[in-house]
Structure 1
Amino acid sequence: MPNRTEICAVVKSYVEHLGNHDVDELVALFADAAVQHEPLGVATYRGRDEIRAFDEKNAKVPFTVSRHSPILVSGRYAAMQLRVQREGMPDFLASDLFEFDDDGKIVSLSVVLDPEAQV
């Protein structure tokens, strides 16, 4: 199981690659059979191919992200809040919950988006 330092490094890379719209590097952080719920309760993407398709579509939307909270780690789980900035709308928060496998790859990502949770 990855340690706290390793998990935090992956989460920081996730934020960087998401903000840079670097789909290849972003998808490389996920395990082959990973699941991404984004937004949680609305859409689920299974496996790297579906996650890649979602990220490619998402990369066409002009937005930036930055970490809004510390990275919280408990065992193989991590959570944090992102500040999302998109032209034409107020900045808002998203909460991300990650689960990692023994190799330090993301096996599950649940994203709670709330454009009304303005910063």
Structure 2
Amino acid sequence: MPSRDEICSAIESYVTHLGNHDVDELVALFAEDAVQHEPLGVTSYRGLDEIRQFDTENAQVDFTVSLLSPITVTGKYAAMQLCVERAGMPAFAATDLFEFDDACKIVSLSAVIDPRALVDPVQGPA
């Protein structure tokens, strides 16, 4: 099982690559058979090809992200909140829940996205 430090480093890389719209580096963080639920309960992407296709389309959207909360880790699971800023919309929070394999690759990512969970990018949740 990966250590807390390894998981935190992987999530920090995820936030960086998501914000830079770097699809190749983002997809490299996932295991071959990973599942990405985004948004959770609406759409699931299975395997690297589907995740790559989603991330490629998502990279065309003008947005930035920053870590809004501490990364919390329990065993192979971790969660964090992002501040999402998108042109023409108020900044909002998204919560991501991760599961990692023994190689510290993401095997499951569930994104809870709520554009009505408004945040101040500088001060945090409203």
Pairing 1:4–2:4 present: yes
Instruction: Within 5 Å, give how 1:84-99 maps onto structure 2.
Output: 84-99=84-99
Pairing 1:75–2:75 present: yes
Task: Give the drift of 1:107.
Answer: 0.1
Q: CA RMSD in A?
A: 0.2
| Inter-partner Cα distance in structure 1 for 2:39 and 2:87 | 20
| TM-score when normalising by structure 2 | 0.94
Task: Give the drift of 1:15.
Answer: 0.1
Instruction: Within 5 Å, give how 1:1-119 maps onto structure 2.
Output: 1-119=1-119
- The percentage of aligned residue pairs carrying the same residue is 71
5+ residue gaps, structure 1, are none
| Inter-partner Cα distance in structure 2 for 1:29 and 1:53 | 15
Following TM superposition, the consecutive aligned residue runs of length 4 or more in structure 1 with deviations greater than 2 angstroms are none
AA matched with 2:93:
L
| Inter-partner Cα distance in structure 1 for 2:59 and 2:47 | 18
| TM-score when normalising by structure 1 | 1.00
Task: Provide, for residues 62-113 of structure 1, a one-character-per-residue CA deviation record: whole Å limited to 9, x for no partner.
Answer: 0000000000000000000000000100000000000000000000000000
Task: Give the drift of 1:3.
Answer: 0.3
Task: Give the drift of 1:54.
Answer: 0.1
AA matched with 1:7:
I
5+ residue gaps, structure 2, are 120-126
Tell me the number of residue pairs that the alignment of Structure 1 and Structure 2 aligns: 119
| Inter-partner Cα distance in structure 2 for 1:114 and 1:71 | 19
AA matched with 1:40:
L
| Inter-partner Cα distance in structure 2 for 1:78 and 1:109 | 10
